[in-house]
Amino acid sequence: MFAGKNSILLLLLTYSLHLLLTTSFAANSANDKILYDIYPFIRVYRNGTIQRFIGQGFLPATTDPRTGVQSKDISIVKELNISARIYLPKNANPGYKIPLLVYYHGGGFFTESAFSPNYHHHLNSLVARANIIAVSVNYRLAPEHPLPIAFQDSWLALKWVFHHSSGNGGEPWLTKYADFGRVYLGGDSAGGTLAHHMAIRVGMEKSDPGVKVNGMFLNCPYFWGKRLVGNESADANARKSLEALWLHAYPNTTGLDDPLVNPGMDPGLKMLGCKRVLVYVAGNDGLRFRGWYYMQVLKKSGWNGIVKVVEVQGENHVFSVINPTTPKAIAMLKVLAFFLNQ
């Protein structure tokens, strides 16, 4: 009987060891199949399979029961799948033109869309509070469409919006309600990067005399560079993830000092095509130092405008989009609404 127990124990031990080795081998084998993994954004496998972990939800355009804001989806460049969602406030009057916001969503260039629940709710709230019309741009995502495609899509969408300033565009909400003398650009995270570069192109090209971009707001903008600023060296894992986002979204980039991600390396920075910039950063966000850095390099560039940075303590990256009902998020919304009506 005693020998039988030892045999059973030995059998269990052998099986456990086999299971451990098999599991370990399977895990290593699975890891070998992963090309890169940038959690919580995306995982890409060597066979081309793509997993996105956030931003895959969809809400239809409708009349929002909470705010009364109307929304509808439009195609901008059908063959390139560039589209947008337009928002109109409840009490819009065709005889009274209101400010126009062109907004670019975040998501690290890999995830989210103009139709994601977070952005749909965010734009409904902002449009209602500020009494503006908004165009939320839906650009193509990496890695299927690597950068700089998102920048190109964003510019095509902006030019499409500006075309309506003559009154001849095909979207009646823009021709009837938008005041093209009071245009604003905005975006969060990677969308802030896009909004910034749209403002640069506006300033450099000056091709739309009927349009005036009054200002731009950036919510926790995604900028980076080889030289670390602030306390960015404190969290090595966060730093690696932030760098990986850029390098994998833009395989042909010149690197972390590419002017598209590092405004301090952009010789065209002084051409920023608006006179007021409002930047929000979050106290718990690893990107907060880049917001302050952006203000410094913008001031030194020779740009003739006013830039302000607001740091919200105790909050995380794009907190006002992810958790819009907190007191600090509501306070931020009020500031943005005021900014968009100055």
Please give the torsion angle defined by the CA atoms of residues 272, 273, 276 and 280, in that order, rounded to the nearest 10 degrees: -60
d(CA 268, CA 218): 18
Furthest-apart CA atoms within the chain: distance in Å:
96
* Cis-peptide, bond into residue 40, ω within 30° of zero: yes
Q: Tell me the β-bridge partners of 88.
A: 70
d(CA 111, CA 173): 28
From the candidates 113, 125, 189, 320, which is the catalytic residue? 189
Residue 16 known to be catalytic:
no
DSSP letter for each residue of 47-60: TS-EEE-SS-----
301: DSSP letter: T
Residue 121 known to be catalytic:
no
d(CA 222, CA 120): 21
From the candidates 113, 125, 285, 320, which is the catalytic residue? 285
Q: What is the pairing mode between strands 276-282 and 306-312?
A: parallel
d(CA 308, CA 48): 43
Residue 317 known to be catalytic:
yes
Among positive and negative, which fits the CA dihedral 287, 288, 292, 298? positive
Report CA Rg, the chain.
Answer: 24
For the chain, helix (H) and strand (E) counts, in that order, are 9, 11
222, HSE (Cβ side, Cα atoms, 13 Å): 26
Three-state SS at 80: helix
Alpha-carbon distances, residue 97 vs 206, 213, 338 (angstroms): 23, 15, 17
Q: Tell me the β-bridge partners of 308.
A: 278
Q: What share of the chain is helix, strand, coil (3-state, %, to 5)?
A: 40, 20, 35
- Known catalytic residues are 189, 285, 317
